[in-house]
Structures are given as structure tokens and as C-alpha cells.
Amino acid sequence: MELVYPPVIAACKTMFRVLDLKLDVRGAEHIPASGGAVLACTHVSYLDFIFCGLAGLPSGRKTRFMAKEQIFRNRIAGPLMRGMRHISVDRAAGQASYQEAVAKLRAGEVVGVFPEATISRSFTVKPIKTGAVRMAEEAGVPVIPMTVWGSQRLWTKGRPKNLTQRHVPVLIRAGDPFHPGKDDDLEALTADLRERMSALLDQAQADYPEKPATKEFWLPAHLGGSAPTPEEAAALDERPRGSKPTT
């Protein structure tokens, strides 16, 4: 019985209504009503798991997300994450969380992953890990590429969160599923998954209803925004935590 997930969903929907977020979900029909599936989503915000999970609700699915263990150690978030049966990922010992995800997929659960492993500061798709494709192949379930766009305006890496901002459009897109096979080249399939995720993100950015004239922080550099380029973002990610850029 789900005791935690339904009230959390209700609380999130209430928050969306209060903030009058302009949610636009497309492709939800690609998420199966039964059986396991991997949702492989782009990552631009700390809130992406909330918005990505919305795509499963029309099919009655509650997504179990893989998230770093620090969240599970949080005094408030930890009990909620465990109650919603999300999967704690210890990056120093990731095999256990991988096997837990495969077990949930085989049991017919929907598992959400962010193959980039961390938020993209450039708001383009970073190089991705093979785990999403590998676990789908091992469990015999489809991979569904996804993107979320607009959530970075509320809370993203390197920027103060603004959870009271109203009327922000948030676009959620799910693409066509594909089924990794045992004889497939997983590296090639991972490259294909990244291309699918990038195409969804490009389309969401093109569809976005707000076209600011100024160099907004939440727009990628190639669209005229002030976000770091992918190369600048990679350099920022390599800096030790707490260090400041040199001048």
C-alpha cells in the first residue's frame, strides 16, 4: 500500500496551483500502464524528479527515482524518499543500487534515472552513463527518453532557489520507447539515447512560450542565454567543492 507517495503528489499539485505553474506534459502515453520501464531524463534542476514523475500519473504509475544517498540522510527529505520507495545511490558502491533498480524493474516498477549523473549547468545534455540502457537490457524492459525544461528557473545548480516564482512554464516530454537487446552494443545504444534526449530537449526549448530578449541565466549559450557553454560548465564541475573561479 502506498502511504507516502499519494500525499506528496497532492502537496506538489497544490504547490503548482498556488504558483500557477504552466505545466505542459506530452508523450505520457509512451509510459506503459503495467510492467517495468526506465525513464531516462535530462537534468537541469533539483526539481526534475518531481516534474518527470508527473508523466507517469496518467497511466497510474508512480516512478521510483535513483537519487544520491545524501538526500536520504536529510532529516526531512530522507523519510519521504524512503516512503516513496526511491533508490538510494552510493556513488562509491553503486552496484547495490543498480541491482535494486533491476529488481524493481523485474517486479514491474517504473524506475527514473538521470543518465547525466548531475545537473547540466549549460542546459544542454552532458555525456551520459550506460546504466540506464544496461539495467533495461538486464531486466528486459524498455527505455523511455524524457526531458524537462523550465524547472531550472526555480532551482538549479549555482543559482539561489526561487520557489515562489509564479507563472513559470515547465515543459515535460516523453519520447518513443526502445528495447535494448542482449546482442545490442550498449555503448551505441547509450549514444542513441543521448541523441534522443537531446532532440527532446531541443524541441522543448523551441516550443517554450517565453522568448526573452535579454541574456537570461536559464537559457543556454547557443540560444543567446548567459548559461555557461558545455566546455565552461565542464570546467566548473571539475572544480573542488567550495572553491571560487580564478580571475
pLDDT at 224 over 50: yes
Q: Which amino acid is at 129?
A: K
Rounded percentage of the chain residues whose pLDDT exceeds 90: 93
- Asked whether residue 238 is assigned to any structural domain, the reply reads no
Mean pLDDT over 230-245 rounds to 81
| Residue matched to cell numbers 496518467 | 58
pLDDT at 196 over 90: yes
pLDDT at 59 over 50: yes
Nearest CA-CA partner of 43 in 105, 101, 112, 93: 112
User: How confident is the model over 31-58, as pLDDT tens digits?
Assistant: 999 999 999 999 999 999 999 999 999 9
User: How confident is the model over 17-32, as pLDDT tens digits?
Assistant: 999 999 999 999 999 9
Is the CB of residue 44 less than 8 Å from the CB of residue 155? no
H-state helical runs in the chain:
5-19, 48-54, 69-72, 77-83, 94-106, 131-139, 186-207, 230-238
- Asked whether residue 228 is assigned to any structural domain, the reply reads no
pLDDT of 213 reads 86
pLDDT at 180 over 80: yes
Q: Which amino acid is at 174?
A: A
Work out how many domains the chain is built from and give that number: 1
pLDDT at 156 over 90: yes
- Asked whether residue 229 is assigned to any structural domain, the reply reads no
- Asked whether residue 135 is assigned to any structural domain, the reply reads yes
Is the CB of residue 87 less than 8 Å from the CB of residue 64? yes
pLDDT at 141 over 80: yes
What is the CATH number for 84?
A: 3.40.1130.10
Is the CB of residue 85 less than 8 Å from the CB of residue 53? no
- Asked whether residue 54 is assigned to any structural domain, the reply reads yes
- Asked whether residue 235 is assigned to any structural domain, the reply reads no
pLDDT of 247 reads 37
Question: 115-142 burial by CB neighbour count: b if 16+ within 10 A, else e?
Answer: bbbebbbbbbbbebbebbbbbbbbbebb
User: 241: pLDDT confidence band, cut at 50, 70 and 90?
Assistant: low
- Residue 149's domain comprises 5-213
Rounded percentage of the chain residues whose pLDDT exceeds 70: 97
Q: How far is CA 182 from CA 107, 116, 135, 231, 239, in A?
A: 19, 23, 11, 35, 38
Mean pLDDT over 223-231 rounds to 97
- Asked whether residue 243 is assigned to any structural domain, the reply reads no
Is the CB of residue 224 less than 8 Å from the CB of residue 147? no
| pTM for this model (two decimals) | 0.95
Provide the grid cell at 190: 547509450
User: 244: pLDDT confidence band, cut at 50, 70 and 90?
Assistant: low
- Asked whether residue 224 is assigned to any structural domain, the reply reads no
